[in-house]
Amino acid sequence: MLDEQAKKTMLRKIPHGLYVCGVKDGDEVNGFTASWVMQGSFQPPLVVNCVNRSSGSHAMIQSSQVFALSFLEASQKDLAQKFFKPQRRVGNKFEDVEFYLGETGCPIISDALGYVECRVVGAVEHGDHTVFVGEVIAAGVHREGEPLLLENTGWQYGG
C-alpha cells in the first residue's frame, strides 16, 4: 500500500535546480520557472524538461518544438518567483527583465549564469506533465556563480 506522506516526503528530497524556461510561438514569447530538469545524454547532448500540461507554455513548446533554459544564480530567488506565476494571471513576465532572443527565438535571461537552447526531439505524455527531450543546439556562459537550488528557497514542488 502506498503511504502518501512517505511518498511526498521522499519525492521532495530529490534535488532540483531552478531555471527560467523561455518559450516562443511565432512572435509571442513567455517563460516559466522550471525545476524538473536534467541532462539525459552526452552524445547527442540531451536535456529532459518536464512541463505541466495545463500551462500555456506547454502549448508553445508543442507548437514551436524549441525551448531555452536560463540557469539562475543562487541569489535570484525573486526572479524565479516572478516566473512561477501563470502568464494568464500576470501578463508579460519579461516586462522588467532584461533578456534577448537566442538562436531558437526563445527568450534568454541576460543576468542568468548562462543558458542552453534546445530543439525537441522527443516527448512522453503521461500524468500531468510532459517529459520533453531536447537536443542542445546552442549554449553560452554569461558569468560564474552558484546555481539556485529549490531546496535553498524554502519552496516545495513535488511529492
- Give domain limits for the chain: 16-152
Of the options 2.60.300.12, 3.40.50.2300, 2.30.110.10, 1.20.120.420, the CATH number for the domain spanning 16-152: 2.30.110.10
Poorest-pLDDT segment among 65-69, 82-86, 103-107, 119-123 = 82-86
**Global pTM exceeds 0.85:** yes
Read off the pLDDT of each residue in 9-25 and give the average, rounded to a whole number.
Answer: 91
pLDDT confidence of residue 2: 87
Angle in degrees, CA 104, 19, 101, rounded to 5? 25
The answer to whether 118 and 68 have CB atoms below 8 angstroms apart is yes
Read off the pLDDT of each residue in 29-38 and give the average, rounded to a whole number.
Answer: 95
Question: Does the pLDDT of residue 155 top 90, yes or no?
Answer: no
Q: How confident is the model at residue 91 (pLDDT cuts 50, 70, 90)?
A: low
Strands (E), the chain: 19-25, 28-34, 37-41, 46-52, 66-71, 99-101, 107-109, 114-126, 129-141
Question: What pLDDT digit, counting tens, does each position of 94-115 carry?
Answer: 989 999 999 999 999 999 999 9
CA 128/CA 132 separation, integer angstroms:
13
Question: Does the pLDDT of residue 156 top 80, yes or no?
Answer: no
Supply 146's cell numbers.
552558484
In the predicted model, what is the mean pLDDT of the chain?
Answer: 93
